[in-house]
Chain A
Amino acid sequence: MNNGNGKRFLKPGKYLMMGNVAMAEGALSSGLKFFGGYPITPSTEVIEHLAKRLPEVGGCCMQMEDELASINAVMGASLVGAKAMTATSGPGLSLMTETISMAANIEIPFVFCDVQRCGPGTGFVTVPHHNDVGLTRFAGNGEFEVIAFAPMSCQELFDLTITAFNYAETYRCPIFILSDAYLGHIHEVVNIPPKEEILKRVIDRTIPEDTKGAKFTYEDITTHKLMIPKPYIVGTEFCPPLIIHLPHNQDGVLMPEENSLRFMKIMIDKIRDNIDKISLTEEYKMDDAEIIIISYGLPVRASYRAVDLARKKGIKVGIFRLITVWPFPKDKVKKVVAGAKAVIVPEMNYTGVIAEQVERVTDLNIPVIKVPKVATLHHPDDILKAIEEVAK
């Protein structure tokens, strides 16, 4: 029987790929079966590529009537056990927030790619602007935690998409990939690993063999530690009889009002307790650094060059890169910035969403300097100038 899995993986080797295509291929490698989308610049290449590739692997790619429908179809597909994702830009994201909030409540895993463009409103559609970073953290009504990745190259778009799907299966919360208009359209060499290597990394959607026993327990009975159950699948035995987006217990039964706080704790602590496992960071020349650059996404690439130039001039600078932006690794950053001379946060937005988070954990006598840039990329000189100013 032809199940279409033969075309799931590309032949191992080096490919010249567009960022959006690399992300779509990463999703296919991790077993994507449903994509619901609506064309919006600059994310259109994702749906165009998947419309061709998903039927080849026995999946379904649907162009829905609007963004609201596409995210809801993605949620429906995920409910019946398909790995599902959508891709959109800022205006689409703001429409989809209603469903993101519901999916967080019923703990349905899916991956959400946000190819950011310059806003607010319609804005400039073909230039990057990391202005949805704050929106992704608070996307939707109610309290819940999200995980957001900030890749900086096409290779990372491929790799981190696989990680994103694994996180979705494990933590069952909304997962965002924060790409942007330039990163989505850049063409770079992507190294595709062999099939076996990818399969080792992928977590599949399966239901536990013993569905009768500990069904959807949030708590380990013996140690009383918080557990995250596997995602349920509609149409199998492993599913609560009623799926409802109100405070509910593990069987899907409504909780009385006085237990709502307990439900909130379950929803939020599953991320906060595992923050060390979830948050991915990278360090560059941090051993003796006095001035620290904290950044994510494309500005990191300019920062590498700026650090190298500054080091030639004898300034001790290092980069602390956030690969996952949310949840914000508060403790890690606190440790890194302790005793620093200054912290520089180059960001592609004016308000400095992450800079504000850094300010939150930095001592008051350490200056936090924002290097904002909107609609264009940072030039290494922009960052170098900021470094030289604080090094004086």
Chain B
Amino acid sequence: MSDDIRYPSEKPEHPYFDSSLSGMLLGTLVSRFCAGCGYGSIGQLYTRVFEDEKLDPKLFPLVIGIGCYSQIFFLVHKNAQKMLTLHGRAPAIATGMKMANPKMKPIIFSGDGDCLGIGGNHFIHLCRRNLDCILFIFNNSIYGMTGGQAAPTTLYGAMSTTTPYKMFEPRSDGVELSLAAGASYVARTTVAHPRTLMKYFKKALKHKGTSVIEVITPCVTYFGRKNLDNLGSKGEKGEIMDTGGKMFEWIKKNSIHINQAKFMRKEELFNKYIIGEFRYNPSKSEYSEEYKKIQNIAMKGD
């Protein structure tokens, strides 16, 4: 296939691809993600939602933390305002942006190590304030960017470079944390369920308050290649998840819908992901609106 057929010169500018930026960045037109990674589809879904809803992505600044997903900035909407920020501090930066310009609705991209590890405090207080923004937690249960170290969300029994025998720490749960902290819209889905992800994202865009959407994504290179699909549990013969397809199958098998999980015992839900909508409370007061009331009290007699 010649280059002319692949990238016709008269191809109209479309939102999925910023040729000048990527060209500068990469020199070649390739994705920076490993084979089998889920972030490519997330970037595409993000763009598609903005195109479907006909929203101006300039007013939804994209605050990106540090992790593998940081490289998503050249896959999302061309007109989006992208900001690569510090490790774990994205919720705090979004708070400042929202309060200084309440017309905006920041969208935060953060990972499991970013949001539940180093930035855990900022994440809890963002949910507590119920600030109007959307927080995505991309959970691949490993530190991919630094080469496969254990994350706070790594499942029990999994191998990583810093847990070479097996992971023995209990994992932290982003959804339960945000429910306890007081976020008004909490959902979890996976990259293997892209339509659900789009549905939740659209709902979060219309919701006023903190929306936390945890997305389970596969990491083939550092998680799948080193782990069996039963994560070393006894009595079962496992298989190494060394392709994207196998990891997607594993994610589908390992995730249980919330309605189904209600009727299951705790032991059965061990090392499983519960997916679905956990809370939707549009009546909870939102921080910037509450602050507006304080300003009105203070400005009286001006």
Contact = CB atoms under 8 A, between A and B. Distances in A.
B82 A242 contact: yes
Interface stretch (B1-9, B98-106, B137-145, B203-211): B98-106
Nearest to A106: B83
Given A73-B99, A80-B104, A241-B18, A6 B61 contact: no
A239 B82 CA distance: 10
A80 B298 contact: no
A102 interface: yes
Contacts of B104: 80, 234-235
Interface residues of A, number: 45
Contacts of A72: 85-86, 89, 92-93, 95-96, 122
A76 B92 contact: yes
Residue of B61, B89, B92 most packed against chain A (CB within 10 A): B92
A118 to B, nearest CB: 28
Interface string A309-352: 00000000000000000000000000000000000000000000
B100 A34 contact: yes
A245 B61 contact: no
Contacts of A81: 100-101
Interface stretch (A55-63, A281-289, A360-368): A55-63
A254 B96 contact: no
A77 B298 contact: no
Contacts of B20: 253
B295 A69 contact: no
Contact of B92 (A33, A69, A242, A246): A69
A219 interface: no
Interface of B is mostly: helix
A148 interface: no
Nearest to A239: B81
B30 interface: no
Classify chain B: how many residues form its interface, as a range. Answer: 35 or more
B92 A64 contact: yes
B46 to A, nearest CB: 15
A76 B97 contact: yes
B81 A68 contact: no
A75 interface: yes
Interface string A93-118: 00000110010000000000000000
Given A74-B96, A80-B97, A4 B299 contact: yes
A243 B97 CA distance: 14
A55 B295 contact: yes
A204 to B, nearest CB: 15
A84 interface: yes
Contacts of A356: none
B291 interface: yes
24 contacts: A2-B299, A4-B295, A7-B299, A36-B96, A55-B291, A55-B295, A60-B291, A64-B125, A65-B122, A68-B89, A73-B93, A73-B95, A76-B100, A80-B100, A234-B81, A234-B83, A235-B61, A235-B103, A241-B21, A242-B84, A243-B81, A244-B84, A245-B84, A253-B21
Q: Which 6 A-B pairs have the closest CB atoms?
A: A76-B96, A73-B96, A77-B100, A72-B92, A55-B298, A82-B100
Interface of A: 2, 4, 6-7, 33-34, 36, 52, 55-56, 58, 60, 62, 64-66, 68-70, 72-82, 84, 98-99, 102, 234-235, 239, 241-246, 253-254
